[in-house]
Structure 1
Amino acid sequence: MKRALKLGIGPKLFMAIFSTCMLVIIIMHWGVRLSFEHGFVDYIRKGNEQRLTLLSDALADQYEQHGNWDFLRNNDRLIFSILRSLEQNPGSGNLLPPHGWRTQFWIIDQQYKVLSGPRSPVPPEGTRRNITTSNGKVVGWVIGSPAERLTRSTDINFDQQQRRTSWIIVGFTALMAALATWLMARGLLAPVKRLVDGTHHLAAGDFATRVEVGSSDELGQLARDFNQLASSLEKNESNRRAFMADISHELRTPLAILRGELEAMQDGVRKLTPEAISSLQSEVVVLTKLVDDLHQLSLSDAGALAYRKQAVDLVHLLEVAAGSFGERYRSRQLTLQLTLPAEAPSFGDPDRLMQLFTNLLENSLRYTDAGGQVRLTMKNLGDSWQLCFADSAPGVDPAHQARLFERFFRTESSRNRASGGSGLGLAICKNIAEAHGGSISADLSDLGGLQITLNLPYVPH
């Protein structure tokens, strides 16, 4: 079974434009031919009517001179003489069209007998002119054949020449239309072909592919959108590889420690003591925390975290979160200072917001030297609440502040996982803040450490 021939968009576009051009050319050719033929026949008709009128007047004068039609019977030479005199001297200012008589004519008397004319029958639809004497008596008629019946070879040849010329023009115009259509289709499809080739490269995994933007129209906008998509895919692929490398690196160390500890116990190098079990347990806690954070981050990235938003008071949530950290802050000799308004109405998920505040307080607890202080302030900016979590030394290099919300990023490689966490806390905070229509950023603190600025919408109750 033969497969049907599939035409690409190029041939389809060519056929569409070329068919439209041919339709316009044929309609114009038909209209011009119709106009020419009607105009040509009308030109001949008017000329013959004028000649028939002059001939009837000349015959009326001859009839009055002779008193009957005997002078005309079998006297074709007289007819030719009259015709020649009319052509050479139309008289009375009557201007005849050039080239003489166009159609056949007949002269008949009162009894409808043909006095002069061709042997063919008199056409009933012919043009008729009365031969009227000076006293108003009709003594005969001059009848001309319809103008549509061209009899002279020059007229027929002229009409045929016009037909041939018209079709030659149509053929030449069709060739020019085909050439122009091919160039137009090729030019229009060039950016589409570039996009198709770029899409194939992109589908094959070549995310560095870019297409040339050659115009500012819709195709140009499509090319710019394609380049932006390719750039996003390239960035996402780079982040994915870095993410997988970071995950493997984060998992490798606690797993290596666990494996080393277990092999030492198995070989008898280390005894199974409560201290050894505690060491293994701490590594398991690190792995559990890392897996939980990865799960939370993947859910927030995919938008799968359940947000049950309602009217909330941010002050109440902050006080509850700060109260849960009171003992831990005192154990590290850290001072936690709160400067909050009486209430801060907003709209959000209280559980996720509590997770956000807990992660930020945990971050300050981990990275603030003992004996320092942490200050939490809030103020109303009109359409949002601004929360500042500022802590004392150590600070963060300004070059690293923008990367604090990246996954697995740590400002100091010396911080171990037990104190530094998984490196995902701030990334989760960013996703939660953005899910609530807010924003989060990092800057230097006037206390000598880091300041995390959080903006959340102000929604009055």
Structure 2
Amino acid sequence: MKIHNKLFLILFSFSFILITGLVLVMQWSIGQGMVDYVNAKEVKALQPLASQLAREYQKTSSWKNFEGENHRFFHLIRKQLKESQFLPSRTPDQINKASQRPGFMPKPRGEHRPPMDPSFAGELRLPPGHEAHYALLDNNKQVIAGLYKADLTYRNISIYDADTVVGFIAVSKRKGLIDGYELDFLEQQTTYLWLIALAALLFTLLITFLLARHLVGPVKQIAQGMHHLSQGDYQYKLELDRHDELGQLSEDYNTLALTLARNEEARKRWLANTSHELRTPITILMGELEAMLLGVRPLTVKNISSANDEALHLKRLIDDLHMLNSAELGGMHFNMQPLLMDELFRSVEQKYVVIFNQHNIEFVIKIHSHKITLLADKTRLMQLFDNILMNAVHYAQCSAIQLTVQMTQRLNQDYVEIKITDNGVGVDDQHLSHLFEYLYRVDDARNRQQGGSGLGLSLCQHIVQSHQGEITAINSPLGGLGIIISLPVET
């Protein structure tokens, strides 16, 4: 089953059960409330009878005039309730006739009435459970007149003589409604409730369908996009105008597709450049060797030396590829130790001052913050500066190189910022973000005879990233190229 159908069935089933349950509970609550209302209304209707019975009690200060007088008691009940729907189902004559049968006796004062013989139940015609039973009780809640069943629940209306309770009118609680406008009201409300429930279910059906489509639609698009990715189509993009998690997921998908497309492009360029870089010295080497074998070129030390240079160039390229691959696989080891920046830059200055003098390049180091300590591998950092500075010598054709060191802070972390700038041949803006890619060359002028393998800056990026830092390329204020290296400071 499709996820759209599953989600629709789950949501609709839950809504159906919830609405049906709510209707049943509300129906029960309204019915129970209406029964309680009818019971309270009956008690209120009998309140005047309590005052009348109190006056009867005051005549003799006792209930002896009502002992066993079921006919009289029910006559008063019927008289009080004749304008209401609460009349008892039996007439006083039926009740009085039942009371005259042998074995029927009103309970003597202060004693418990013996259990009634079940054989009289048919003639007494006890009211059904939804009809009320009435009885007159004394202040000890002993039966004086009327019908009183111990298995029923009664409400007692107190009868007062002055401020003293002298008796009670016991009215059994009704368990349901059989007639009257209350029953009509209850039936009407029940009908309305089920009509409302039906309308709610139809509305829920529509909302559930739309909601399921709203939620599952983007999932289908994302699934379709993932299918395109699995087929190698990285140009397929999702356009979901949403501001929820699915919208964020679609943006992440587009970012992933773009990243994969760039990686695929970089992989193809890497393979093309690598094969080209390897083919060039091999072609030259084979050409020179073939020329010497065929006698086109004499077998001299100079010609052999030229072929040897191509072999060395090929070896350097292979070594750089191996080193870069080791860095990618985590095989490039680092010996991290506390390192003073002053000591590092003195080593840099001593190493390159002779080389720069030979090329008539002015080298200036400006350190604005001294006593900076890094947790770093000095050998790898020297390799880093060697690649950057030698690139400036071979490529930039510059006359001045400036190395500036200063402290910066980002996200409560101190960094040392090393900026290396020159005044030589610059790089166009569109090339700056690609300088650290494998075998990337800005133009044909930077050919293999002038430069190295094209992997130096890629190695520089790995070294900096292994030190938890960042490296970027900018246009130098001096007019050439600038490299900015940010490394975290040891705390």
* 1: CA distance, partners of 2:145 / 2:96: 4
Task: Please state how far the C-alpha of 1:213 moved relative to its aligned partner.
Answer: 2.9
Residue number in structure 2 paired with 1:381: 407
- In structure 2, which of residues 113, 120, 134 is the aligned counterpart of residue 128 of structure 1? 134
Matched, 1:312 2:339: yes
Matched, 1:20 2:24: no
Q: Percent identity between the aligned chains? A: 32
What does 1:300-449 correspond to in 2, within 5 Å? 300-301=327-328, 304-325=331-352, 328-329=355-356, 332-335=358-361, 337-339=363-365, 344-367=372-395, 369=397, 373-381=399-407, 383-391=414-422, 393-397=424-428, 400-436=431-467, 437-444=469-476, 446=478, 449=480
Residue number in structure 1 paired with 2:89: 104
Number of aligned residue pairs = 416
Residue number in structure 1 paired with 2:308: 281
Residue number in structure 2 paired with 1:231: 258
Matched, 1:257 2:284: yes
Instruction: Report Cα offsets for 1:149-183 as digits up to 9, x if no partner.
Output: 76669998887776566555544433332332222
Q: Which runs of 5+ in 2 are unaligned?
A: 57-70, 102-121, 138-142, 149-170, 409-413
Contact 2:406–2:416 (Cα < 8 Å) also in 1: yes
* 2: CA distance, partners of 1:120 / 1:161: 35
Which SS does the other structure have where 1:379 is aligned? strand
* 2: CA distance, partners of 1:388 / 1:39: 84
Amino acid at match of 1:195: I
Contact 2:423–2:476 (Cα < 8 Å) also in 1: no
- The TM-score normalised by the length of structure 1 is 0.73
What does 1:152-171 correspond to in 2, within 5 Å? 166-167=193-194, 169-171=196-198
* 2: CA distance, partners of 1:412 / 1:139: 120
* 2: CA distance, partners of 1:346 / 1:54: 100
Amino acid at match of 2:252: D
* 1: CA distance, partners of 2:172 / 2:89: 6
Label 1:311 to 1:110 Cα distance change in 2 as closer, same or farther (>3 A): same
* 2: CA distance, partners of 1:106 / 1:53: 22
Amino acid at match of 1:128: Y
* 2: CA distance, partners of 1:15 / 1:250: 62
Amino acid at match of 1:197: Q
* 2: CA distance, partners of 1:103 / 1:262: 130
Residue number in structure 2 paired with 1:220: 247
Amino acid at match of 1:121: R
* 2: CA distance, partners of 1:273 / 1:334: 35
Residue number in structure 2 paired with 1:3: none
Label 1:146 to 1:380 Cα distance change in 2 as closer, same or farther (>3 A): closer
* 2: CA distance, partners of 1:421 / 1:320: 23
Task: Please state how far the C-alpha of 1:355 moved relative to its aligned partner.
Answer: 0.7
Label 1:49 to 1:291 Cα distance change in 2 as closer, same or farther (>3 A): same
Contact 2:334–2:377 (Cα < 8 Å) also in 1: yes
Label 1:177 to 1:395 Cα distance change in 2 as closer, same or farther (>3 A): closer
Task: Please state how far the C-alpha of 1:359 moved relative to its aligned partner.
Answer: 0.8
Label 1:268 to 1:216 Cα distance change in 2 as closer, same or farther (>3 A): same
